[in-house]
Amino acid sequence: MNQIPWSVTLQGLTVVAERLDRVPQSMEDALNGVAIADAVARGLTGQSQR
């Protein structure tokens, strides 16, 4: 069982929310937001592969 602390998860979601709250200034910013959201989702589902 590899559990991620809720504080880390909430911090990740907060970063995503802050990015989504602003209009992306470039496609790169938008893709970075998606990458962060994907990383958080993988962490929540425990599917991160290393």
Hey, where are the domains in the chain?
A: 6-41
> The tokens of 41 are what?
């989702």
First-last CA distance in the chain: 15
Q: Note the pLDDT of residue 45.
A: 82
Q: Note the pLDDT of residue 24.
A: 56
> The tokens of 46 are what?
């425990």
pLDDT in tens, the chain (50 residues): 466 676 777 787 788 777 766 655 677 777 888 888 898 888 888 765 55
Q: What is the pTM of this model?
A: 0.39
Q: Please name the residue that has the structure tokens 């809720």.
A: 6
> Beta strands of 1-50 (E only): which ranges?
none
Distance CA 2, CA 44 (A): 10
Q: Note the pLDDT of residue 25.
A: 67
The answer to whether 12 and 40 have CB atoms below 8 angstroms apart is yes
